[in-house]
Each structure stands twice: as C-alpha cells, then as structure tokens.
Amino acid sequence: MTIEELSNPVGQYQGKTEEEYLEIIRGLEFRIKEDDLQCKELVLAQSNYRRFFDTIDDLLFVLDLNGIIIQSNDAAKQRLGYSSEELTGNPVSFIYPAELRIVAERILKEVAEGNMEVSTVPLLTKSGDFIPAETNAKPGLWDGKQAIFAVCKDVLKIRQSEEKFATAFHVNPTMMSITRFDDGRFIDVNDIFLKNFGYSRKEVIGRSFKEITSMPEPEIIQDIRRKLLSNISVREMEGKVRSRTGQEFTFLFSADYIYVGNDLCFMVTGIDITLRKHAESDILKARNQAEKANQAKSEFISRMSHELRTPMNSILGFSQLMSMGEVTPAQRKGINHILNSGKHLLSLINEVLDISRIEAGSFSLTPVPVQLEGIIREMTDVISPVAQKRKIKTELENSPSNSLFVFADRLSLKQVLLNLINNAVKYNREGGSVLINTRIVDNASGTDNAVRISVIDTGHGIRPEDIGRLFSPFERIGAENTEIEGSGLGLSLVKKLVTSMKGEVGVASTHGKGSTFWIDLPLAEGVKGSLVNAEKVDGGEIAQNGCSGTVLYFENNISNIELAEEVLRSQRPSVRIISCRHGAKAVSIARECLPDLILLDLSLPDLHGADVLSRLKNDIATNDIPVIIISADVRPDQIKSILKNGASDYLTQPLELTNFLFVIDKYLGNKNR
C-alpha cells in the first residue's frame, strides 16, 4: 500500500466488488498478525539474551566507540557496587583508578582495535577497593550501531580458586601428580607424593616418569595415556611403584584430563594399598596353611580310624565268636563287658571320623526317600536291650505321619536317630519313658512341608543357660557328675548331619521334667510305600546250615585271617578257606583254586584292593567269581566306587559276625541250590 493509497483510503477502494473488499480485509488481517508475531519473538529473544547476559559471572560491558557505557550485567554492578543508572552513560574510565584512567582508555582502545589482547589494569569499586582484573575487548554491533564489548575477569576469584585447589592438592593424603600430556613431564606433585618416594620437589618438577626410574612402570603411564586418548575411564588401575630407596609399593591409580593454563595435562591419583595387599597375601597364606592342616588332619584321622578299626575287628570278632560257644556265666559276663566296651569305643571312632569328614567337606550324602516308621522302629529295636535293662519304655506314637517319606541319607538318618534315642535312654530316669512322634510342619522358609521327628524323654531336663552349649563338640552338660559314658560328640554330629541333609535340629527342655529333641527333614511327597528298602537286621541266634564251598581270602592282618578261619570252622565247617597276604598273586591263585567266593581287603602290602578287584574282573577265568570287600575304610564315596567297579558286596570292619555269615550263606547258599 503506497502513501497515496493511505492518504486517499476511499479512492483506493472505489469500484471494488464485495468479494474484493473481503479479500483486501483478509490480507490486512494476515499482515497485522504476522507483524504482531515478529514483535513477540523479538521481545522473547531480548528477554532470553538479558537473562543470559546477567547470569555470566564475569563483568560484562557494552561501550560505544567513545568508551561510554551503554549496558552492563548484574555481576558488574554487584562487584563494583554501582546501580545501572550510575554506570549507564558514564565513560568506562571512571571504574579505573584516577591515576590509571588515561592508561586504561589507551589500552582499551588498542584492545578494541586488535593491537592488544588483554588489559591487566585493575578496576576500582564504588567503595574504593581494587579488583585485580584481566579485560578482553572486541568490536561488534549493538542495536545496529558500532560498539565495543568488554569482558573483565576477576583475577582475585581465580587466584582464590587456584589457592584452594593448591591447598587441597598438597594436603590430600592421596598421592597426586599433574603431568603434561605431550612429554610426560611433571608440572606439580603433592606433599604425600614426595614423602612416599623420598624426593624433593626440585628433583621431580620438570622431569618425566622415565627420568625418575623408581616411579610407576612406563607401561602403566602409557596405558593411562592410551585410555584417556580413547575416552576410556581410568579408575583403580593396580600397579607397582618403587621409592628412591627401592622399597616397593602397590597403588590403585586413577587419572583424568586437566588444563593448566593452555596446556593439556593429566592428573594421576594413587591410593597406597600395600598394607592391604600384604594382608590379603597373609590371609591367603593362612588359608592355604589351614586347608593343608585340615587336609592333613583329615588324612591323619582317616588313617588312625583305619588303624584303630583293624584291631577292633579282632577284639569284637573273637568276643562274638566266644559268646557263641559254651562259656560259664562269669566268662559270659566278661565277654559282654568286652563287647559293650568295644562297641562304645567303635562308636567314638566313628563319630570322630564323621565329624572330621563333614568339616573337611569330604562327607558325601545320598538323599533318597526314606519311610519313617520302618527306620524309627529299627533304631528303637537296637536300643531296646539297654532300655529294658533300665526299665525304660520306648514307644513310637501311632500317627498317620509315620507312614510318610522324608528325603534323607539313609545311613546318616539312622545315625541321627540312634544318637537321639540312645541319649533319651541314657539320660532318663530309672523306669522312665521315651516317646517318639512325627508330624508335618512348615520349614523355615514357609514354602515347603517338612516332617518333624521328636524324641521326648522324662529325664532330668536341661537348664536354660546350658541349652546353647548342647550342640558344641565335647560338651557333656551335667554328665561329668555321672558315670554315663560318652564323648560329647553325638549331638554335634547330629546337627552337622541334619544340616547336611537340608534339615533343622532343635531342643526344648524343662529342668527337672524332661527334654524334647527334634529334627525337621524335607517331606518326600507322592512317594508310595512300595519304595521302602529296609535293611535286613538279624539279632537272633546264628543258625548252622549245610552250605559248602571254597573261599579265597586276601588279607594282610594275621589276626583278621585267624578270625575268619575260626568263624567258618566253628559255624560253617563245610566251607574251606584259603588265605593270601599279597594282591599281586590274586589272579594266578584264583585261577589255580577257582574259589566260589573271594574275600578281599583293600589295604594289602603290595597292591591296593581296588587294583586287585580290577585284575580279577578283567580276567576271563575269574570275572564271574563274586568278590566281597572286607575293609576298615568306611567312607561312603569309597564304598560306592568299589561297588560300581564290580564288587558284589562291601563289609566294614569290625565285622558283625551275623552279617558276615549272612553274606557267606547268601553267595555259597546260591551255589548249592
């Protein structure tokens, strides 16, 4: 729209149609809106600029070409103590000391013309204080006019910041150093650095790591530089360092970029972990020594157990044999004393060995579904002679839970129940009672069912302060004042065995009234009664039978050979026994006499029994002959391995003569049928 059109608004619209008028109005409306939008954007940009201008910590000024202040930011007003009205319109020279104003104006002009980069003339506040400053000025445009932009840095703040950093740097207990990135020369190191490595500041500053041979290995520094160049974080990199005297330290190094002036540097911090590494090394050595000692202890106990069980075989074996014959009442009483004492000694040997294996981690368990009623009744039958002698009634409470199955190692569960029931009888009152009951309970996590087996006695009970000591080895609460035999290992073994079977053990007792010992074992749900695999127990008289045949016995111990010969002579007279003490001759002797059964000890002087078994099973002439192992080695893993490799059965020493004769009858009886 032209001036003429604006001056003659009527004339310009004459002759227009209604639609043309509307089109003209819409065009005017669009132009008004566009101008309004541009105006708002301009106001917003100015507002944003103002906020940015005032948030800068440096002192900012906009000057005209004559040095008159047009604009200043908040930092300038706050640091100098002037208001905006006091600064705007005044020459910039008035914020400089009077004696330096001419110099300041000249320097500012040269800076603006590009002849000088920085002015170091200090500023003067309204209160008369000096501010050390570095001023940088550049020409530019302001509101479309030529102007000068001046930025004044408060050097005092920079110095204070540097002083704070320097103080923190030098008093830091962590070793710190600043090194130029290009040549690796030290710019600064802190006091702990110098103290640790025995150098003076003069000997370090300006030199590189390579020139100070006791510093960190060059590979470490190269690795730090490589990682920083690849933008990889350097944190807790372990490395060795030697002091000036040759003492070795171990440090955890961390590093970061840092600028000192315009120089790119890297700052390395190091934490001395020498004492920690020594402690870790000592702990590792101690652990290795402890493991070796524990292994040696286990081997010693295992060996001692074997050596002890071997003579026990003769003691108990011949005692059993004597009791089978005709003896006087006095002799029978003495034999019974020998048998009882021997069995007690054997139980102590077994408990020590089992605890040793559990502690050494070599005790292997085979959890299988085990029905409660059968195994509980079996153990009460074993204890019944002792209970009857003291007129103590032992009873399994009638309950549907008795028919349940639990996941447990069968032999270990027997040992646990035998210990608990035996204790309930031993520490009971004369004429008392022992009640065993079973019920389903929630386990500790509350997610699965468990079966609780409780052994309740009417004994003297346990004081509350003594309960915590019950399951500790060699603790015999109150028994030291009685004649009751024991080692104090039984309950300790119970706890270890139950825990190994993923169960729990506990006790509740009222002093003067009795105690309840209980164990919780995982319930084997869905297992039918047909899975019961009860072991044969023959506690009656040994019957003579007509089985016959030849037995070849490989055994190193003379007394064990004599015991086997005497048992077979008196109880199975039709069985011929041939003995040999050397395993290397096993195959040739077996080929020569072709026995119906081979008895084999594992501890032979020239060859281990496992190797003898292998030779017999690999020879076509002897591989079908049943081989029965007789050994004092009662380790479950050993028994499992031997049976897997071809042994027909495994008898442990000391021998139970009923079991020994049962096995003889089993194999020679099958031959005669």
Residue 223 sits in a domain whose CATH number is: 3.30.450.20
Question: Is 566 found in the same domain as 494?
Answer: no
Asked whether residue 40 is domain-assigned, the answer is: no
Question: Is 630 found in the same domain as 572?
Answer: yes
Asked whether residue 84 is domain-assigned, the answer is: yes
Question: Is 554 found in the same domain as 421?
Answer: no
Asked whether residue 374 is domain-assigned, the answer is: yes
Question: Is 247 found in the same domain as 110?
Answer: no
Q: Which of 364-368, 423-427, 623-627 has the highest mean pLDDT?
A: 623-627
pLDDT confidence of 487, banded at 50, 70, 90? very low
Give φ, ψ of 474 to 5 degrees: 70, 10
- pLDDT for the residue 75: 85
Question: Is 594 found in the same domain as 467?
Answer: no
Question: Is 657 found in the same domain as 604?
Answer: yes
- Model pLDDT for residues 222-242, shown as the tens digit of each residue: 777 788 777 777 887 887 777
- pLDDT for the residue 599: 94
Residue 5 has pLDDT above 60, yes or no: no
- pLDDT for the residue 455: 93
H-helix or E-strand containing 1? none
**Predicted TM-score (pTM) above 0.75:** no
Domain boundary among 502, 531, 560: 531
Question: Is 487 found in the same domain as 422?
Answer: yes
Q: What domain count does the chain have?
A: 5
561-573 average pLDDT score:
86
Residue 632 sits in a domain whose CATH number is: 3.40.50.2300
Asked whether residue 470 is domain-assigned, the answer is: yes
Asked whether residue 10 is domain-assigned, the answer is: no
The more confidently predicted of residues 514 and 673 is 514
Give φ, ψ of 117 to 5 degrees: -85, -45
- Model pLDDT for residues 82-101, shown as the tens digit of each residue: 998 888 998 888 888 887 88
Asked whether residue 165 is domain-assigned, the answer is: no
DSSP secondary-structure letter at 534? Answer: P
- Model pLDDT for residues 362-413, shown as the tens digit of each residue: 556 667 788 888 888 878 877 888 888 889 999 999 888 888 888 888 778 8
Helices (H), 325-399: 329-360, 372-389
The more confidently predicted of residues 529 and 553 is 553
Question: Is 593 found in the same domain as 495?
Answer: no
Residue 530 has pLDDT above 50, yes or no: no
What is the layout of strands, in order, in the sheet containing 627-631?
A: 575-580, 549-554, 597-600, 627-631, 649-652
Between the alpha carbon of residue 338 and those of residues 322, 332, 507, 523, the distances in Å are 11, 10, 34, 41
Question: Is 77 found in the same domain as 127?
Answer: yes
Peptide bond into 400 cis (omega under 30): no
Structural domain containing residue 484: 364-531
Strand partners, 111: none
Residue 15 has pLDDT above 70, yes or no: no
The more confidently predicted of residues 454 and 359 is 454
- Cα(111)–Cα(114) distance, rounded to whole angstroms? 5
Question: Is 480 found in the same domain as 589?
Answer: no
Question: Is 112 found in the same domain as 91?
Answer: yes
Asked whether residue 348 is domain-assigned, the answer is: yes
Domain boundary among 531, 557, 576: 531
Asked whether residue 178 is domain-assigned, the answer is: yes
Query: What letter represents residue 202's amino acid?
Result: K
H-helix or E-strand containing 188? strand 186-189
Domain boundary among 355, 377, 399: 355
Question: Is 525 found in the same domain as 383?
Answer: yes
